[in-house]
């Protein structure tokens, strides 16, 4: 037995126990994990905010509380794969947020993505509310190629100007749709938006896959149809796409959603169909103040680890 059992353990409080990175350019990371502690895109008093605490909630609730992923990998019993072994994940910290300065903050988010891409790493972002996905995707504007955008969400987030607000967590797809470098947009799990918003999204060419279609067709058939391995896909996971029972700690829990197993299978089949050609990922809308026994934080942590693990497994296969 060579297992080393320590007498004491100091938590490093980074995502997944990853190395804390101070100078991104000096490291050759596979994945740069970035926190965006931003909740100013949330409508008060209608929706409970608190998503700014999400990055630290994930740092405090890693996938496994016993070992860091970097040491033993992440064993996925469903696929019999040990994921993330030898993969370099770094925690580069949180975007600096200046209160009340929306444009400045969005520019910082975009510039953070550009800096990550310049280093050769894949940006893995932990929000924040869903409004951050617009400046995150904007970070790919100089890449010189098109990307597809796939998001999981109970809502279309394709609103126009709700409460006279242009940049909030219900409009980011509206802005992403206008990027000339974004080719196809697909939303999976949408179920609570107005009929007018559904109509507008369909007219704008957004492919809408409701939960009933996930139930009927399964993850594999859906991803084989949606994903083109030749074009990089950016993936955004609003945790409220899952059923409320799996994500009590979200800002806007919605019943009738995707199960955890379906979400997991969708991420697996997405990476398989894409041959790992996923150019970026974000996970958003955890509200730790609403969480129950850290269930939602642990679930979000696990899904984040799985998408990196599946991506690396299928890369160039
Ligand atoms: Mn959303």
Residue 6: strand, helix, or coil: coil
Q: How far is the CA of 281 from the centre of ligand 1 (A)?
A: 14
Centre of ligand 1 to C-alpha 130, Å, is 5
- Cα-to-centroid distance, 13 and ligand 1 (Å): 27
pLDDT in tens, 118-134: 999 999 999 999 999 99
Is the whole-model pTM more than 0.85? yes
Q: Is 228 annotated as a binding residue?
A: no
How many residues in the chain?
A: 317
Question: Tokens standing for 7?
Answer: 């007498």
* CB-based contacts of 242-245 (< 8 A; 24+ apart in sequence): 242/152, 242/189, 242/299
Q: What is the residue-wise DSSP string for 138-175? A: HTTTTSSS-EEEEEE-SS----S-GGG-SSSTTTHHHH
Q: What is the pLDDT of residue 92?
A: 97
The answer to whether 238 is annotated as binding is yes
Q: How far is the CA of 252 from the centre of ligand 1 (A)?
A: 9
List pLDDT tens digits, range 39-90: 999 999 999 899 999 999 999 998 876 666 666 789 999 999 999 988 999 9
What are 23's two structure tokens?
């100078």
For residue 148, the cross-strand partners are 233
pLDDT per position as a tens digit, 252-280: 899 999 999 999 999 999 999 999 999 99
pLDDT for residue 142 is more than 90: yes
Distance 4 CA to ligand 1 centre (A): 43
pLDDT over threshold 80, residue 98: yes
* Average pLDDT estimate for 186-204: 97
The predicted pLDDT at position 63 comes to 84
Query: What's the 285 CA to ligand 1 centre distance in angstroms?
Result: 7
Q: For residue 60, say whether it is annotated as part of any ligand binding site.
A: no
Question: What confidence score (pLDDT) does residue 7 get?
Answer: 78
* 115 Cα: distance to centroid of ligand 1 (angstroms): 25
Ligand 1 centroid distance, CA of 173 (Å): 9
Q: How far is the CA of 294 from the centre of ligand 1 (A)?
A: 21
Residue 11: pLDDT over 70: no
Determine whether the annotation assigns residue 22 to a binding site: no
- Give the span between the Cα atoms of 155 and 112, in whole angstroms: 26
Ligand 1 centroid to residue 169 C-alpha, Å: 6
Alpha-helical (H) ranges within the chain are 54-60, 69-72, 102-119, 133-138, 172-176, 195-203, 211-226, 260-274, 295-314
Confirm whether residue 243 is marked as ligand binding: no
CB of 42 closer than 8 Å to CB of 118: no
**What's the 23 CA to ligand 1 centre distance in angstroms?**
31
Q: Is 157 annotated as a binding residue?
A: yes
Distance of CA 204 to the CA centre of its chain: 23
> Would you call 141 helix, strand, or coil by DSSP?
coil
């Amino acid at each position: 037995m060579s297992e080393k059992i320590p007498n004491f353990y100091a938590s490093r409080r980074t995502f997944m126990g990853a190395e804390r990175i101070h100078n991104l350019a000096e490291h050759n990371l596979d994945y740069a994990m970035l926190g965006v502690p931003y909740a100013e895109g949330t409508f008060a008093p209608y929706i409970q905010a608190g998503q700014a605490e999400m990055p630290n909630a994930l740092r405090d609730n890693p996938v496994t509380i016993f070992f860091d992923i970097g040491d033993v990998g992440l064993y996925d019993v469903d696929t019999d794969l040990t994921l993330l072994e030898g993969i370099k994940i770094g925690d580069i910290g949180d975007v600096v947020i200046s209160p009340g300065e929306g444009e400045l903050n969005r520019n910082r988010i975009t510039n953070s993505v550009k800096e990550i891409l310049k280093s050769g790493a894949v940006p893995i972002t932990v929000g924040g509310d869903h409004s951050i996905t617009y400046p995150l995707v904007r970070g790919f504007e100089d890449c010189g190629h098109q990307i597809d955008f796939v998001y999981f969400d109970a809502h279309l987030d394709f609103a126009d100007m709700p409460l006279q607000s242009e940049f909030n967590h219900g409009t980011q797809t509206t802005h992403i749709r206008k990027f000339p470098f974004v080719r196809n947009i697909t939303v999976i799990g949408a179920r609570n938006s107005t009929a007018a918003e559904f109509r507008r999204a369909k007219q704008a060419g957004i492919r809408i896959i409701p939960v009933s279609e996930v139930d009927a067709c399964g993850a594999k058939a859906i991803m084989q149809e949606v994903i083109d391995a030749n074009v990089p896909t950016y993936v955004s996971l609003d945790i409220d796409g899952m059923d409320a029972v799996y994500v009590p700690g979200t800002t806007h829990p919605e019943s009738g959603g995707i199960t955890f197993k379906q979400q997991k299978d969708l991420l697996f089949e997405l990476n398989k169909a894409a041959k790992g050609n996923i150019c970026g990922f974000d996970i958003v809308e955890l509200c730790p103040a609403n969480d129950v026994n850290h269930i939602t934080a642990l679930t979000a942590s696990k899904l984040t680890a799985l998408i990196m693990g599946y991506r690396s497994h299928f890369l160039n296969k």
